[in-house]
Structure 1
Amino acid sequence: MTRRAAAPLALALCALGAAHPALSQVREMGAGKVYLGTVRASDMHGLSYATRGCIVALSEEARQSQAATAGQELVRLDDRDALLSLRSAEARVQDLQAAVAERQLAVDAARADDVRRRKELDFVSKEFDRNNTLFGRGIINETALEAVERRIMDATFAAERAKEAIVTAESARNRAEIALEIGRLDLQAAERVLEELRLLAPFDGVLVGFEENVGDCVQEGELAARLYAPAAKAVDIYVLISDLAASDGSGVAVGGAVTIQRASGTTCDGAITRIDTEADLESQFVQASIAVDGTCAPGLFLNEAVQVALKPEAG
């Protein structure tokens, strides 16, 4: 019997074997052993809702085609309250930014006043030194000297108050900056809440079980669909322990090249990527996984029954 002629029989046996795991998953087909396998997605990505709500919009294109592109919005939950919160947070940040700018102006003004007060203190100090010299020579009386002393005391106090004003203004600015940072965090939280109301496709792929409808209400963590990359498919087969690679390198082994044959007669290349570490207690079969060549994988259907044969160079 040729391999092509035996394909329908082998595939029927594969389906029967899936229903009855104790039945053999291997057939002798002339050129060698053929393993019966099932196609699956290598990485099935679950798309779940991050929050609860009611659906107000969804992608009809994605639902009809059962395909999605990276970043595509698949479902949108009611986001009216979230949009209001976001706009409020944005306005709050703008107000806090203006408050920080005002506090910075106050700091700049306090520093400028400090410079003026220090210059005034320097001027009065020099005037006091001159008048003190004149007083020592008897040119001015004590009353005039006391007037200068009062001015230097006033200038000293004014300079000290200017320095204190700088500290106060900087403290107020720091508090405004802290409030601004809190406002920005609130804005990020509002943006995140809005993002959680939109279900996006993380990558280009095929949707499975995407049957949502506008008006449906969902719960947090509820599964909306599953997504997989069409070029990332694998085939699971079951191998007898006796068929695993022996010391002479024959048999099934990780890295071994295989040929995957469909019921239509078309074939795909693949390679064994994993052999399970636990055998079935009764049947003594071990599960093995095969990565399908990426150029051929998109044409395979999930759960499709196929035949797998080792390539001659693989044993």
Structure 2
Amino acid sequence: MTDNELKFSVAPMMDWTDRHCRVFHRLLSRRARLYTEMLTTGAVIHGDRQRLLGFDATEHPVALQLGGSNPADLAASAVIGEDFGYDEINLNVGCPSDRVKDGRFGACLMAEPHLVAECIGAMKRAVSIPVTVKCRIGIDDQDPEVALDTLAHAVLVAGADALVVHARKAWLNGLSPKENRDIPPLDYDRVYRLKASLPGVPIAINGGIGTIAAAKQHLAYVDGAMLGRAAYQEPWRLLSVDPELFGEAAPHGSMHEAIEALMPYIARELAAGTRLHSITRHLVGAFQAVPGARAFRRYLAEVCTKPGAGVESLRQALALVDEAAVAPIAA
């Protein structure tokens, strides 16, 4: 992967970064790299692949994140992902949920770097697209200086094309998944040191990055920045990604324009049986400090959730917002 491909991305987030969310985010940035929610190898191999893996062509570049620890299953899932047209396969070595731990994948794999390397090697042999790893700086009582270096070197020897590092430990004993997103202290310097020790390896940083300006600051030390909750809860920030980080115009000049551009996609999805709320739930944070933003959110919650709600319902919600009445919000 090139540094530019890794420069900015929206994190894979369970229940959030589904295909509808990604189509919306793509209308805000041509350049952001988008990720699926994590899919287990069991789901990919045995589940409804079209429902789980299908995506709109406009989403590119888009990566498939996998959860698993069986090299053969991961290789098979990677091939399926490549055949579907994904641009990258990413292995989850960072999710701290109990379900993930019980399945022997996610953050608990930080304790098994050699197994992770086997998984990466199997996927690399199976596909021609980039294979990457998203990890933590360590888990529980691990020393992050040792744990992160050990994992990084193991997967790089196996052929990993890039690393995305969430700059927090994951405490698998004692903290809930929600607490693991906030309570363990951030240690950005640890990720910077990893990059300094591996100057030729593409490395992105994740965790607690709330603005595009903050992402830009991290890019002085690493190759890429990944936004998670801020990108989802405040999607208006993504309109400044292309201008601020790539020196290019945003796909649309305002959130109004972006949502208008989403209407044909919504119409197609509604015709295929999708409920409007499945798409508009991702638009709740579209406007901030804009006259009518609260009314917009209320309309989405009260009207766009009703059975039979259609494109006109969203147009009516959008008409409540006077985006032109305020200056652009800082990224």
Tell me if TM exceeds 0.5.
no
* Structure 2 length-normalised TM: 0.17
More strand by percentage: 1
* Structure 1 length-normalised TM: 0.18
Structure number with larger C-alpha Rg: 1
Structure with the bigger RCO (C-alpha within 8 Å, sep 6+) is 1
